[in-house]
Structure 1
Amino acid sequence: MHAPADRRPVNIASIAAAIAAISAVGLGLALSIPLLAFELHDRGVPSTWIGLNTAVGGLATIALAPFLPNLVRRLGAGPLLLVAILSAAISLVAFKVTPSFVLWFPLRFVYGAALCVLFVVSEFWINAAAPSDRRGLVIGIYGTVLSIGFAGGPAILSLVGTQGWAPYLCGAAFFGLAGIPVLIGASGAPAIEKESTSGGVWALMRIAPAATLAAFIFGAVETGIINFLPLYGLRRGLDAGDAALLLTIAELGNVALQLPLGLLSDKVDRRRLLLGCGIVSLGGALLIPYLAIDSWALWTVAFLTTGIVAGLYTVGLALLGARFDGAALATANAAFVMLYSIGLTVGPTAVGGGMQLIDPHGFAWVIAAFLALYVLVVAGQIWRDL
């Protein structure tokens, strides 16, 4: 089950394929969620139904992820990624030409399933392709590209707008571009020779809670920040432009810190690094209510806290690659993405509820509660293994 140390040559084309696939996930999610919400709003669909339709994408991930290790074994990682890229591009354009809102539900499921395949298979691919002595570096680059993808979606919408065909065609074109490195690197895709004997997704969550729970916390906290940090800024007296700037500064932390954290994870115990990330980001969340909303101190804390929370994803993924290989690694990556998707659902609900109960600082207290839970779990696991 443990991946052996290796000094094999780096297959750049193979690694580039996995990184291209994850860039498509980041941009695809960040572009489609606001774009499709605007489209439905313009068609007069109530916000509750918009939310339900969006949630179908997450349900697709939770439903499909456990089956992906066997699909990779049977079909191969390269062909599976190419089918997912094609499905994502076609379904994104299909939203624009489908007048019936009812049909948007199966469409959203297909689109969510395609992104799920890209997410899980690219994570398995990057972990299998990365040499063990530089795994953190490679996954740091991978995490940085994912963060850039998340930033790129809104950037495209700000450039081309949310009306008409342009944003849909830009999104589909980006999927097509991402498919080129996948096509080139497909021959170097990792293979699964036999079925996993690890007991499945839920068993692996119990075996490696520090790594897999990191995905849930990242999904919950990151989505909570994206959804509610601007609103938190407004409720503490910022104007709309400064509130948006605060979120931009926070998200720049994601882009800036993944590579340093990945490099650090190659040199230290990754579980202890995850614990350190949890403690530092918990401290940052607890500081937020006590800092002036328009101060450099708050900007710095938002930058560092958001970037270090994203580091849970990067370091957690590297820890999975060091702990598992073959079919067990694919299953562990499926667990990782499932928990991330559950976090996407739980996080905004909890943070929004917290702000309603304690306005506005419930935003920071709920984020701190998520991080405190993670710190307790990881500290407990490390203490049991002493």
Structure 2
Amino acid sequence: MTSAAIREQDGGGMRGLVAAIGSIAGVGLGFSITLPLLALTLEDRGISSTWIGINTAFWGLSSLAITPFVSRIAARLGTAQALALSILALAAALPLFYLSPFWLWFPLRLVAGAALTTTFVLSEFWINVAAPPGKRGVVMGIYATVLSIGFAMGPVILYFTGTHGMVPFVVGAAVLAVGTLPVLSALGVAPKLTDGHRTSFVRFLFLAPVATGAALLFGAIESGAFSLLPLYGQRVGHARDVVIMLGIGVTIGNILLQMPMGLLSDRIDRRKLLFAIASFGLLGAGLLPVVSADFWPFMLALTIWGGVVGSLYTVGLAHLGSRFTGEDLAAANAAFIFCYSLGGLVGPATIGAAMDAYDPQGFAVAVACFFAAYLVLVVTRMRHAQGR
């Protein structure tokens, strides 16, 4: 939820959860089909990694712009209606990428990014409203797992459709459009939003920097990895037909480890857990150049690394929830999503530039730098807390 709002319905209980979680699968599918497909298509057209990264960063730019207004859009159109329209907008944009010249990809990225962000924010809001308070952790674990399954489905679809021609774009659009069906089936139970007391989310960017920093880091790694990991795989010697499967290694780890990591976060200091996750992320980034030339060791490393790193978002959000309540939590959630979107802006551009500067291992170099910077932040905050 991106601003304080009044909840007028309970979100429809199980029916609402099925609708919202079904739509979140569309979010994951949208990311995992669109980002690698677009990157590979641009490379086929002779576009450099730097420009591919810059173009992908427009996705994050639109996310930053739309986030403060999502709840207002939902209040005016209705939560379910806005959710369904955003999924359809993303589906409609996908074939247009294939038909358009490169300069037109920038406004298309803005439209697609805004649609995907709206889907993400409203799905998460609906899940939080409909989840029973005593089972919220379990529901959020299911949510994260379904999201990861959505991420895994994209490369599978691309494997069977191929990455050349119009077919993968049309198939991806059709699958996304089907994702509106569970939402439309629950129109009557969707939570209603009305404008309430507005609390600016800006100050919450700095009140919980360990949590918001985790969102920024995760956004940078996730968007950068899904858009540029196939290119990294090609540069270290793997065939085009198999590099689209590298993202599955990351998502399998997410599917297996989201719920265990969430349960672990309820039992230990979340800042210490986030420090451990980031440390593991840095170690994994350093290992990638060692194993990247051999496909199956590369896939195994991505599975373990991706599963642990993927919990940055879940644990960071839990840490945020433990610090704020009510309207403050709503504003803090907006700050969290804003930072995630900011990561989506800086991640692909930075990683793409590093890949051109340090070919073929620039991908691993850039990812390692992101984790190192976050570790400095966490250590600084932990020392500050001990000194008080």
Q: Normalising by structure 2, what TM-score?
A: 0.79
| Aligned-partner Cα distance in 1 for 2:96–2:323 | 40
Amino acid at match of 1:24: G
| Counterparts in 2 of 1:181 and 1:318: CA distance versus 1, 3 Å | farther
| Aligned-partner Cα distance in 2 for 1:174–1:246 | 21
Identical positions, percent? 45
The corresponding residue for 2:158 is 157
The corresponding residue for 1:342 is 342
Equivalent residue in structure 1 for 2:16, among 14, 17, 30: 14
Matched, 1:68 2:48: no
| Counterparts in 2 of 1:325 and 1:172: CA distance versus 1, 3 Å | farther
SS of alignment partner, residue 371 of structure 2 = helix
The corresponding residue for 1:313 is 313
For residues 269-324 of structure 1, the C-alpha deviation after alignment (integer angstroms, 9 at most, x for no partner) is 43333233223323333444566954987665432222111110122233344544
C-alpha deviation, 1:375, in angstroms: 2.5
Q: Is the Cα contact below 8 Å between 2:53 and 2:348 reproduced in 1?
A: no
| Counterparts in 2 of 1:99 and 1:247: CA distance versus 1, 3 Å | closer
The corresponding residue for 1:185 is 186
Q: Equivalent residues in 2 for 1:111-126 (5 A)?
A: 111-126=112-127
C-alpha deviation, 1:118, in angstroms: 0.5
The corresponding residue for 1:277 is 277
The corresponding residue for 2:168 is 167
What RMSD in Å do the two structures reach over aligned CA positions?
A: 3.8
| Aligned-partner Cα distance in 1 for 2:268–2:373 | 23
The corresponding residue for 2:85 is 83
| Aligned-partner Cα distance in 2 for 1:116–1:208 | 22
SS of alignment partner, residue 273 of structure 1 = helix
Amino acid at match of 1:252: I
| Counterparts in 2 of 1:195 and 1:363: CA distance versus 1, 3 Å | same
| Aligned-partner Cα distance in 1 for 2:321–2:285 | 29
Q: How many residues align?
A: 378
| Counterparts in 2 of 1:24 and 1:244: CA distance versus 1, 3 Å | closer
The corresponding residue for 1:128 is 129
| Counterparts in 2 of 1:85 and 1:241: CA distance versus 1, 3 Å | closer
Q: Is the Cα contact below 8 Å between 1:27 and 1:152 reproduced in 2?
A: yes
| Aligned-partner Cα distance in 2 for 1:192–1:9 | 11
Equivalent residue in structure 2 for 1:33, among 32, 35, 57: 35
| Aligned-partner Cα distance in 2 for 1:92–1:234 | 24
For residues 345-368 of structure 1, the C-alpha deviation after alignment (integer angstroms, 9 at most, x for no partner) is 322343344455556555434323
| Aligned-partner Cα distance in 2 for 1:210–1:188 | 35
| Counterparts in 2 of 1:272 and 1:299: CA distance versus 1, 3 Å | same
The corresponding residue for 2:146 is 145
| Aligned-partner Cα distance in 1 for 2:295–2:360 | 17
C-alpha deviation, 1:133, in angstroms: 4.0
Q: Is the Cα contact below 8 Å between 1:136 and 1:265 reproduced in 2?
A: no
C-alpha deviation, 1:69, in angstroms: 3.2
The corresponding residue for 1:261 is 261
| Counterparts in 2 of 1:17 and 1:40: CA distance versus 1, 3 Å | same
The corresponding residue for 2:210 is 210
Q: Normalising by structure 1, what TM-score?
A: 0.80
| Counterparts in 2 of 1:188 and 1:327: CA distance versus 1, 3 Å | farther
C-alpha deviation, 1:117, in angstroms: 0.5
| Aligned-partner Cα distance in 1 for 2:74–2:326 | 11
The corresponding residue for 1:5 is none
Q: 5+ unaligned residues in a row in structure 2: which ranges?
A: 5-9
| Aligned-partner Cα distance in 2 for 1:154–1:292 | 19
The corresponding residue for 2:7 is none
The corresponding residue for 2:384 is 384
| Aligned-partner Cα distance in 1 for 2:136–2:116 | 24
Matched, 1:109 2:110: yes
| Counterparts in 2 of 1:359 and 1:23: CA distance versus 1, 3 Å | same
Amino acid at match of 1:282: L
Q: Is the Cα contact below 8 Å between 2:87 and 2:180 reproduced in 1?
A: yes
Amino acid at match of 1:384: H
C-alpha deviation, 1:78, in angstroms: 2.0
| Counterparts in 2 of 1:310 and 1:89: CA distance versus 1, 3 Å | same
| Aligned-partner Cα distance in 1 for 2:364–2:40 | 28
SS of alignment partner, residue 195 of structure 1 = coil
Q: Is the Cα contact below 8 Å between 1:355 and 1:361 reproduced in 2?
A: yes
| Aligned-partner Cα distance in 2 for 1:361–1:106 | 31
Q: Is the Cα contact below 8 Å between 2:216 and 2:342 reproduced in 1?
A: yes
| Counterparts in 2 of 1:129 and 1:73: CA distance versus 1, 3 Å | same
| Counterparts in 2 of 1:284 and 1:68: CA distance versus 1, 3 Å | same
| Aligned-partner Cα distance in 2 for 1:379–1:301 | 26
